[in-house]
């Protein structure tokens, strides 16, 4: 009798776990059109960022972000996190919030690069506009889901670039960190877009 009760309990636990695993999941509350638009925006921003990196490389010979890491630390250039977006611990609300927060951070970092050089200004402006558009898209989806904070976040302190070299090196580092952030974001969005 005890063995049957234990088997029934184990069977019930297994059934419960299967039901939890087959729950509608995080993507069920995100429209496919939103996810596809986000994937398109990520690809566009990645192309913009690559163009900025290539132009900094060809124009100013700043081609290797890994050579500028120490300068990046001294300038205080932060890296945005997407820890709530890992497939093992995906929390949709937290993930959208971190995605928006990261884009908001990169908006500020790109604004701090203003005046980088006249020949790079148009590329930087396009990149900034595309990041702003993507952040707005995420925010509007958070509002639609009823998970947006009551007020939009405010920008924290941004690095101050005191020379043209620091601004250009900062451009390489910001573009590199933005690319890393977008690679993770793209994987998460692609995972959420899977049927």
How many other C-beta atoms can be found within 10 angstroms of the C-beta atom of residue 13? Answer: 10
pLDDT at 124: 94
Q: Residue written as tokens 């451009």?
A: 171
Structure confidence by residue, pLDDT tens digits, 31-45:
999 999 999 999 999
Identify the CA nearest to 120 among candidates 175, 43, 176. 175
Which architecture characterizes domain 31-193 according to CATH? Up-down Bundle (1.20)
- Region 126-139: mean pLDDT is 96
pLDDT at 21: 31
The span from the CA of 96 to the CA of 91, in Å, is 8
Q: How many residues does the chain have?
A: 195
The span from the CA of 101 to the CA of 180, in Å, is 15
- pLDDT score of 137 more than 80: yes
User: CA quadruple 69, 171, 155, 87: dihedral positive or negative?
Assistant: negative
Structure confidence by residue, pLDDT tens digits, 62-73:
888 888 888 888
87 by DSSP, 3-state: which? Answer: coil
How many other C-beta atoms can be found within 10 angstroms of the C-beta atom of residue 22? Answer: 8
- Region 72-80: mean pLDDT is 90
User: CA quadruple 144, 148, 151, 152: dihedral positive or negative?
Assistant: negative
Split at pLDDT 50, 70, 90, the class of 24 is very low
pLDDT at 72: 86
Q: What is the average pLDDT score of the chain?
A: 83
The span from the CA of 145 to the CA of 130, in Å, is 23
> What are the extents of the domains in the chain?
31-193
């Amino acid at each position: 009798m005890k063995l049957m009760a234990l088997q029934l309990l184990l069977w019930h636990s297994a059934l419960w776990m299967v039901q939890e695993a087959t729950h509608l999941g995080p993507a069920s509350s995100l429209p496919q059109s939103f996810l596809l638009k986000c994937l398109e925006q990520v690809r566009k921003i990645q192309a913009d960022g690559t163009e900025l990196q290539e132009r900094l490389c060809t124009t100013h010979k700043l081609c290797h972000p890994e050579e500028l890491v120490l300068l990046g630390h001294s300038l205080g250039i932060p890296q945005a996190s997407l820890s709530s977006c890992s497939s093992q611990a995906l929390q949709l609300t937290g993930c959208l919030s971190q995605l928006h927060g990261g884009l908001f951070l990169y908006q500020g970092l790109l604004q701090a690069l203003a005046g980088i050089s006249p020949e790079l200004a148009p590329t930087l402006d396009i990149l900034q506009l595309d990041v702003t558009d993507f952040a707005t898209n995420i925010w509007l989806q958070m509002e639609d889901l009823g998970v947006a904070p009551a007020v939009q976040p405010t920008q924290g302190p941004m690095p101050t670039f005191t020379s043209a070299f620091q601004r250009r090196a900062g451009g390489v580092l910001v573009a590199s960190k933005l690319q890393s952030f977008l690679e993770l974001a793209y994987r998460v969005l692609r995972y959420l877009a899977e049927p």
